[in-house]
Structure 1
Amino acid sequence: MRIAIFSWESMHSICVGGVGVHVTELAAALERKGNEVHVFTRLGSPDQAWYERIHGVHYHRCPFSQSPDFVEEINNMCRAFTDVFFQTENVTGPFDVIHSHDWLASNALVWIKQVRPCKAVLTIHSTEYGRCGNNFNDGNSARIRDHERHGTYCADHVIAVSKAIKGEIQWMYNLPDWKVDVVYNGVNYRNFDGWIDPGAVRRHYGIGPMDPMALFVGRIVYQKGPDLLIEAIPHILKYYSNAKFVFVGDGEMRWGVEDRAKQINVHHATRFIGFNNGWKLRDLYKAADVVCMPSRNEPFGLVLLEAWSAGKPVVATSNGGPGEIIWHDITGLKIYANPESIAWGIETIFSDFDHARWMGHNGRIAVETAFSWDVVAGQVMDVYGR
């Protein structure tokens, strides 16, 4: 099959979060299965090539006009995707499948579908409702929901990254059950193989080799609940006074969360290191004792699979995807989205490191057997074939 994938992020252009990882790994896995895959994404910087072939995948980095209106800027991006798509077709021939990711790229699917008979698939990684903390906000948020609704209507099939997201979009957009398939995320677990010196990694961030260490990875935004973790820290420090909490990520709440840590006198126990990926992030996973996901709304949570790939237990709220795939007290602990429950989960891990390591080992087995990208690509191809 000739497959065109549209995404506002990828690991080879601009990578903001889990969608960029998903798109990049899925494209490579689809190519390994014998497909011709083209990814249409943003131009990351002026010095990036507009076209590049990476691991067999054709990357088209598309420049477009900026705008103070974010939704209009995204429309400009989708127009650029559409233009480059048609230019590519003129040279290489028609595509069999067009596959957009989230509302950000949905208009590219909508506009191409109007003039091309190819199969159209839209993956919903999260909803605007969920990103707003399960609220229907006005303004741009309402416009974004309109994009989501129209994209799901125009697509031939919709992929949801969890049963929770499937239920959410069926409820909000009145989608029939036959139109929505659940395909969980995958992970390249081999990236986490190899030995590191956890003491050296910890020392780099001013953390002692015997200090209990919890890791938060994700955008520092309301949806992900970093503020809830901050509020849990005082209770944890009562019992584990040398515990440390590392926050990896950036976002609109970062400075407010850091200020709150100072207000409640726990800043000494926190480390805010900003956005990070690659080997530095993998080393932090492997040096941590537990990975905490205190999300108010979590569509799936690629962080969960990365933690398991590193052999670490996860303490995660059951709001969404994690609640579907964590086996409580076997691969991690399910908690509620409040400071008291978060504190309980982390303290439970810190109280029995042998059991924690056993849960992390079980998580590694889970990703090796059920969450490889080749497995995910096969499931996505099944959707393409319907």
Structure 2
Amino acid sequence: MATKNGLSRPQLSFIDSDRFQVVVMTHAYGRRCGVRYMTNGLKVYYVPRLPFLMQNTLPTLYGTFPIIRNILIREGITVVHGHQAFSTLCHEALLHARTMGYKVVFTDHSLYGFADLGSIHMNKVLQFTLADVHETICVSHTSKENTVLRSGLPPQKVFVIPNAVDTAMFKPNPSARMLDEVVIVVISRLVYRKGADLLVEVIPEVCRLFPNVRFLVGGDGPKRVRLEEMREKHSLQERVEMLGAVPHTQVQSVLVRGHIFLNSSLTEAFCIAILEAASCGLLTVSTRVGGVPEVLPPDMIVLAEPVPENMVEAIGRAIKLLPKIDPFSMHDRMRTLYSWTDVAKRTEVVYDHAMNARDEDLLQRLSRYFECGPWAGKLFCLVVILDFIIWNILEWWKPTKEADIAPDMIHHNEIEHQ
């Protein structure tokens, strides 16, 4: 995502619309390729790079430079904002943007370890990228601590801005609930990290202890087979409903059928699904991991250690608390606690910090990369120097002054006032 200063430009309904316009760049999604305009005036570039695994594109390092440069110049970008540590497109965009002299911001949405091979590799890549960003955003204080430890960033350069929920989309509907049973909703990717194996142990025990409990399980993934086998083994076909993948537009209709939302994640920086469930008036039972304890007030969530016995006990406590839960009161509290408007205002402050940062030449940038390690530091410097050379070749081949500048799109509100 990139933003451009919009003081003299038409208003857009995002991030303090009288000051900023937002342009999104992502990879192609199937046949969705090229430039699209969303109904709220958001412009999206779907670059012709197809994902190969978990919505990640193949790393090209320099292969995306020409198209990224073209977009940044055409749109008159001021700040480049990258998301997600595992996004190769994000890392490449931030590298190229810094080479071109743009201010950059990075948001980390996940927690990663320090011991396994994948985490060690990812942490080094993150150290490379964050060595040259102006500001960083994390979605929880636990996430901030994790990012600082992994990347070596000074803590004062990391802001904490939580996610939010569109409460207008997630409203309670008690009439959709069954009166004679307790429905526990699970909506998650059915993978190891999301605690699918934990669900296999927890669900049969809960069904044994509480005859009036039924489960709705939404989501898909490699662990779905284990849940299907568990359901067959314990003859729970009537009490465990497998919904498969649930489109986001249908999540609310599933949530309002339940009384309790169950999150079994083994690691989680924030978990926006908890916000959506609480906004629909569900009491949450969750593993006590990562940034989850920061998400909701204690009377709206029951926390447990990620072991079957503790989860079953927590669900029992939640069932006893249900008579005290007012879905509409919970919805009103969520509307006050989490607002995308508030997130946008806080993000704007981070952009202001980035834009006020002093400009640096190549040598000043290289000095930070060099400090990333005795071998890695030298390798990082070579990567940046080559990126700088490619940028100058592109400038010679297609000078910036000859670029075709994209016209601003007039927002419908402006047309009505004209």
User: For residues 78 and 42 of structure 1, do their structure 2 counterparts lie closer, same or farther at Cα, with a shift above 3 Å needed?
Assistant: farther
Which protein, 1 or 2, shows the higher relative CO under an 8 Å CA cutoff with sep ≥ 6? 2
- Answer whether contact 2:16 2:348 (CA < 8 A) is retained: no
Q: Deviations over 1:201-257 (max 9, x none)?
A: xxxxxxx65221111122111121122123112322233223211221122222223
Residue equivalent to 1:193? 171
Q: Deviations over 1:18-55 (max 9, x none)?
A: xxxxxxxxx96326454111100121122x25111111
- Answer whether contact 2:16 2:344 (CA < 8 A) is retained: no
Q: 1:301 aligns with which of 271, 279, 284?
A: 271
Is residue 336 of structure 2 the alignment partner of residue 369 of structure 1?
Answer: yes
User: For residues 297 and 174 of structure 1, do their structure 2 counterparts lie closer, same or farther at Cα, with a shift above 3 Å needed?
Assistant: same
Q: 1:111 aligns with which of 86, 95, 108?
A: 95
1:267, CA displacement in angstroms? 4.7
SS at match of 2:110: coil
In percent, how many aligned pairs have the same letter? 20
State the alpha-carbon separation in 2 of the partners of residues 253 and 283 from structure 1. 24
State the alpha-carbon separation in 2 of the partners of residues 174 and 340 from structure 1. 38
Q: Deviations over 1:107-160 (max 9, x none)?
A: 23332234222221110000343xxxxx6322x554333322322222211111
1:89, CA displacement in angstroms? 3.4
State the alpha-carbon separation in 1 of the partners of residues 209 and 242 from structure 2. 22
Q: Deviations over 1:303-328 (max 9, x none)?
A: 11101211211111221222013222
Q: 1:153 aligns with which of 131, 137, 145?
A: 131
State the alpha-carbon separation in 2 of the partners of residues 188 and 268 from structure 1. 33
- Answer whether contact 1:100 1:122 (CA < 8 A) is retained: yes
Is residue 9 of structure 2 the alignment partner of residue 42 of structure 1?
Answer: no
Amino acid at match of 1:160: C
SS at match of 2:14: helix
User: For residues 339 and 72 of structure 1, do their structure 2 counterparts lie closer, same or farther at Cα, with a shift above 3 Å needed?
Assistant: closer
- Answer whether contact 1:327 1:333 (CA < 8 A) is retained: no
Q: Runs of at least 4 residues of structure 1 off by over 6 A?
A: 69-72
Is residue 226 of structure 2 the alignment partner of residue 241 of structure 1?
Answer: no
- Answer whether contact 1:42 1:61 (CA < 8 A) is retained: yes
- Answer whether contact 1:106 1:147 (CA < 8 A) is retained: no
State the alpha-carbon separation in 1 of the partners of residues 215 and 54 from structure 2. 33
1:271, CA displacement in angstroms? 1.9
TM-score (normalised: structure 1): 0.80
Normalized per residue, the structure richer in helix is 1
Residue equivalent to 2:121? 143
Is residue 365 of structure 2 the alignment partner of residue 382 of structure 1?
Answer: no
State the alpha-carbon separation in 1 of the partners of residues 264 and 253 from structure 2. 21
User: For residues 73 and 353 of structure 1, do their structure 2 counterparts lie closer, same or farther at Cα, with a shift above 3 Å needed?
Assistant: closer
SS at match of 1:75: coil
- Answer whether contact 2:2 2:81 (CA < 8 A) is retained: no
State the alpha-carbon separation in 2 of the partners of residues 283 and 71 from structure 1. 26
Residue equivalent to 1:170? 148
1:259, CA displacement in angstroms? 2.1
State the alpha-carbon separation in 2 of the partners of residues 363 and 71 from structure 1. 34
User: For residues 72 and 50 of structure 1, do their structure 2 counterparts lie closer, same or farther at Cα, with a shift above 3 Å needed?
Assistant: closer
Instruction: Structure 1 unaligned segments of length 5 or more: list them.
Output: 5-26, 130-134, 200-207
Amino acid at match of 1:75: P
State the alpha-carbon separation in 1 of the partners of residues 204 and 18 from structure 2. 50
State the alpha-carbon separation in 2 of the partners of residues 289 and 194 from structure 1. 10
Q: 1:60 aligns with which of 45, 53, 56?
A: 45
Report matched runs for 1:346-357 at 5 Å.
346-355=315-324, 357=325
Q: 1:291 aligns with which of 249, 261, 280?
A: 261
Amino acid at match of 1:274: G
User: For residues 250 and 71 of structure 1, do their structure 2 counterparts lie closer, same or farther at Cα, with a shift above 3 Å needed?
Assistant: closer
State the alpha-carbon separation in 2 of the partners of residues 381 and 371 from structure 1. 17
State the alpha-carbon separation in 2 of the partners of residues 375 and 240 from structure 1. 41
State the alpha-carbon separation in 2 of the partners of residues 114 and 284 from structure 1. 44
- Answer whether contact 2:111 2:268 (CA < 8 A) is retained: no
Query: Which stretch of structure 1 is more off in the superposition, 170-179 or 182-191?
Result: 170-179
State the alpha-carbon separation in 2 of the partners of residues 248 and 32 from structure 1. 36
SS at match of 2:58: helix
Q: 2:69 aligns with which of 67, 70, 86?
A: 86
Q: 2:84 aligns with which of 102, 117, 121?
A: 102
Is residue 302 of structure 2 the alignment partner of residue 333 of structure 1?
Answer: yes
State the alpha-carbon separation in 2 of the partners of residues 268 and 169 from structure 1. 44
State the alpha-carbon separation in 2 of the partners of residues 111 and 352 from structure 1. 51
Name the larger-Rg structure. Answer: 2
Is residue 229 of structure 2 the alignment partner of residue 262 of structure 1?
Answer: no
State the alpha-carbon separation in 2 of the partners of residues 334 and 33 from structure 1. 42
- Answer whether contact 1:75 1:107 (CA < 8 A) is retained: no
SS at match of 2:168: helix
Alignment root-mean-square deviation, CA: 2.8
Q: 2:105 aligns with which of 110, 121, 126?
A: 121
State the alpha-carbon separation in 1 of the partners of residues 143 and 26 from structure 2. 24
Instruction: Structure 2 unaligned segments of length 5 or more: list them.
Output: 5-11, 354-418
SS at match of 1:334: strand
TM-score (normalised: structure 2): 0.74
Amino acid at match of 2:81: H
Q: 2:58 aligns with which of 58, 74, 78?
A: 74
Q: 1:316 aligns with which of 286, 301, 305?
A: 286
